[in-house]
Amino acid sequence: MASTIFFGPMIGELGWAASRWHAYCRFSRHNDFPEHKCIVADYDWRYPLYDFADEFIPLPDWFTNLNLHQDSYEAVPLDAPAGSYTPPEIYAELLQYFKQFYDEKDTKEVRTPRGCNIFLQFRRKQMWKTLEPSEDAAAYMNSLIPPNVQEVVVVSARGRERAKHRNIPEHVWEDVVDMLSNRFLVVITGTPHSSFLTKKVGRNIINLIHRPGKDGLDVLMAALHRSMFSVTSQSGPTHISLQTNTPSYIMGHEKQRHSIGENWLKTMCLFREVPHEMYNALDAETILSDIAMLYEAIMEGRHKVQAATRESITGAKQHLDFLINNTRGMKFAEIDTESLRQEMVNAR
């Protein structure tokens, strides 16, 4: 019987890995192979998705240096038509490469489904959890954002060559960031090859796109955990925002999929639907008007939580004062702290 489970290699886009693959691997590892050594293979910067793995092996340099397009269901040549696969000789060589890291006779190999394959979403069980950054990534973001700064917004401006008709014009993103930075601290995230705003700087703007290192996804998670909400058009960062439980403003043509179907944690979001994929018809004023509505909803939710918390704390204090003042000789250790805690929970 095999003692090792190998998942991968994942060679497709971040959205595919984040919205379906990693949660399937997590479920399978915990429920089907809990005693097995778990190995996962993916692009080096995606390690934060695989907290359940015993070993993470990045795709080799010779593969990533081929400069295949990473923003597809598979890594394909830049001029490949929609629906293309990774060239078979390259894929075969990649599979052979990873066999050096485990005993093939003692390992169950679980391959990533090829192409646009949604069987994981509808036919396989998945395990979702709130994505958390590493301590190092969180410390890095805290070094950039002062502790007293609460109103932080993360912006990820999709700017891909492939399916470029789904890009919101860069000048619109420029206007949105300029207006947001009058009120918020704006953190711009993305990658140089798939994002707009690569050179955007200014007051109240932190641009992380050209930050060196292989911890970009980790730092994105850390930025989202420090943010009040995010602004994206439907793409990989959209999934990461939803899976960090960050309130999300999303623009796109697949409302059901991104705001409901693949919003696995039921994160608060506001979706601006783009009819007929007319992304170039969006303007900054419309986007800012939507964001204002999301902001109001977030603030209303916060006020309700704060009010409920104050009420529960006041009620708990009164209950504790009653116990102390009306029960002579009672030792503190004899107070039913579990009942008190439950009353506070119920009061919320």
End-of-domain residue from the set 227, 250, 282? 282
Is 248 part of any domain?
A: yes
The reply to whether 296 falls in a domain is: no
Quote the percentage of the chain above a pLDDT of 90: 68
pLDDT (tens digit per residue) in 67-82 = 898 877 888 888 888 7
Which of 43-47, 139-143, 297-301, 335-339 has the lowest average pLDDT? Answer: 335-339
Residue 76 phi, psi (nearest 5): -125, 160
Q: Do 105 and 168 fall within a single domain?
A: no
CA proximity to 52, closest of 21, 18, 33, 29? 29
CA 9 to chain centre: 20
> Residue 33's domain spans which residues?
4-123
Q: Is residue 136 part of a domain?
A: no
Residues 161 and 277 both lie in one domain: yes
Contact present, 236 and 157 (Cβ < 8 Å)? no
Domain count for the chain: 3
Binned at pLDDT 50, 70 and 90, residue 343 comes out as: very low
Least confident of 27-31, 40-44, 315-319: 315-319
Q: What is the CATH number of the domain that holds 167?
A: 3.40.50.2000
Lookup result for tokens 């506001």: 270
Tell me the three-class secondary structure of 115-159, residue by residue: CCCCHHHHHCCCCCCCCCCCHHHHHHHHHHCCCCCCCEEEEECEC
Answer yes or no: do 215 and 114 share one domain.
no
Q: Is the pLDDT of residue 153 over 50?
A: yes
Q: Classify residue 289: in a domain, yes or no.
A: no
Which amino acid type is present at position 145? I
Q: What tokens appear for 264 in the block?
A: 């696995």
Residues 208 and 241 in one domain: yes
The whole-number pLDDT of residue 267 equals: 95
Assess whether 50 and 165 both reside in one domain.
no
Domain-located, residue 199: yes
Residues 305 and 275 both lie in one domain: no
What would the two tokens of residue 242 be?
């939803």
Within this chain, do residues 204 and 255 fall inside the same structural domain, yes or no? yes
145 in a structural domain: no
Dist CA 283 CA 244 (whole Å) = 27
Q: Are 204 and 186 in contact (CB under 8 A)?
A: yes
Residue 137, in any domain of the structure: no
